[in-house]
Chains A and B, each alone.
Chain A
Amino acid sequence: MAGLRYMQGVATLRLNAGACTGCGVCREVCPHGVFGHETGKAVILDLDACMECGACALNCREGALSVAQGVGCARAIIHGWLTGEPPSCDCGGEGESNCC
């Protein structure tokens, strides 16, 4: 939780504690230590550290986690605004751009 911090009160991560079985996968895959463990269930300890990468929600077999997954990249968001498509950085791959 130490280190660089970003904008507060914006992350879209939500935990449905009723559906959680406490398997611990979310804690394992989260690169920012967002989750903790309490009475055999996951808890969100540090919501503002969430970068909405989506690893936890994708790996939650109970579907107890939801998040608007995406890339925290200004260029991708501008691309989305201009084209009306979902934000994508179009980097690497067959695209021209080189950003990430």
Chain B
Amino acid sequence: MKTSLALKDRIGAALVRLGIGRGRYRVAPGLYGVGLPGPDSPVLVTANYKLTFDSLRIELAGVDAWILVLDTLGVNVWCAAGKKTFGTAELVSRIRAVGLDRVVGHRKVVVPQLGAPGVAAHEVKTLSGFRVVFGPVRASDLKAFLSAGMKAGSGMRLVRSTPWERLVVGLVEFSNERRTMVVLAGALFLLAWAGLDGFSLARAWRGLWTGFSAFALGFAAGNLLTPPALALLPGRSFSGKGAQAGALAGLAVLALGQSALATAGMWLGAVVAGSWYAMNFTGSSTFTSPSGVEKEMRRAIPLQAAGLLLSVIFWRLGIGGS
């Protein structure tokens, strides 16, 4: 197994980030080797999402190690641990399936720390005889961890995310929300087309591009602006941060040259969309608790619904006709 990426791996990674072929981007579960591993070499456990597997192997240049890939259905370690597919049962049965006790002389496996929500170390020991050592959060710390005799240095145990990383994980929403966008475009067109004064195709087109522009600004505010700017936007709730980003980005509707009423409706629509998509980014963040997310949702969703209703009314009355 190589410790460098080929062009094919890099293109695959870019497509997967955009949500293309993501569920099928997998490696076969089992035991792999990097370098020239022997009976004394460490065993590093990972998931069978290919991005995860690749981010591990590129950190292992010059290291002789075994890589034990669990079947997590193509999901990364942390998310799979939450679902227990990266879990005690799978680890124990994979250790048996590959005959790990005949491959290595020691009885230790290194599990990434973020696998701990799924892997109970003491149970693995009882069931398989292998002791779980929790490795660092990040694969980039693995070499230092191994050469320090499997001791995690300061910072290796804490999860953090950079603005750039948060921006990258937000990109997948472009693919996730395709269906929503098609439905929205249809709804905007129909709402603008029909009126008490009859049907107007000219108004339908105007409705489509103005309404969709407002949505696009809010979508960008929630998915592209809020994630990297989380630390800068005031408040704790993602929905609140996204509303502020939407309010800012939404000012661009002033440039669309519509009536004051339609402009107000579009701006409000951008605020609502920004708030909604930022709220949905909680699942991609590294520090939100379910109790916290539920609390903010119970406050935010009624406001988002009211805002959406008002924005549609303003926009529809503002683009002409009745």
Contacts and interface: CB of A to CB of B under 8 A. Distances in A.
B230 A72 contact: no
A98 B82 contact: no
Query: Could you tell me the dominant secondary structure of chain A's interface residues?
Result: loop
B290 A52 contact: yes
B294 A77 contact: yes
B108 interface: no
Interface in A30-54: 30-33, 49-54
Contact of A61 (B73, B122, B294): B122
B74 A93 contact: yes
Contacts of A25: 121
B261 interface: no
Given A7-B292, A59-B122, A72-B288, A31 B279 contact: no
B280 A74 contact: yes
Nearest to B121: A59
Interface in B25-76: 49, 72-76
B129 interface: no
Given A77-B290, A98-B176, A92 B22 contact: yes
B164 to A, nearest CB: 14
Interface stretch (B92-100, B111-119, B139-147, B314-322): B111-119
Interface in B281-315: 282-297
A12 B23 CA distance: 32
Contacts of B49: 92
Chain B, interface size category, equals 35 or more
B280 A55 contact: no
Interface in B10-25: 19, 22-23
A8 B134 contact: no
Nearest to A53: B117
Chain A, interface size category, equals 35 or more
Contacts of B76: 92, 100
A31 B158 contact: yes
A7 B295 contact: yes
Interface in A13-36: 25, 28-33
Contacts of B152: 28
Contacts of B114: 31
Contacts of B160: 3
Contact of A30 (B75, B83, B157): B157
Contacts of A49: 287
Contact of B290 (A32, A58, A87): A87
Given A31-B114, A74-B283, A77-B293, A51 B288 contact: yes
A80 to B, nearest CB: 9
A64 interface: no
Contacts of B81: 53, 55
13 contacts: A28-B134, A31-B286, A32-B287, A33-B158, A49-B287, A53-B81, A58-B116, A59-B120, A74-B282, A93-B73, A93-B74, A98-B23, A100-B283
Given A29-B134, A93-B85, 12 more contacts: A11-B291, A69-B82, A70-B290, A71-B79, A72-B292, A75-B283, A91-B283, A92-B79, A98-B19, A99-B172, A100-B76, A100-B283
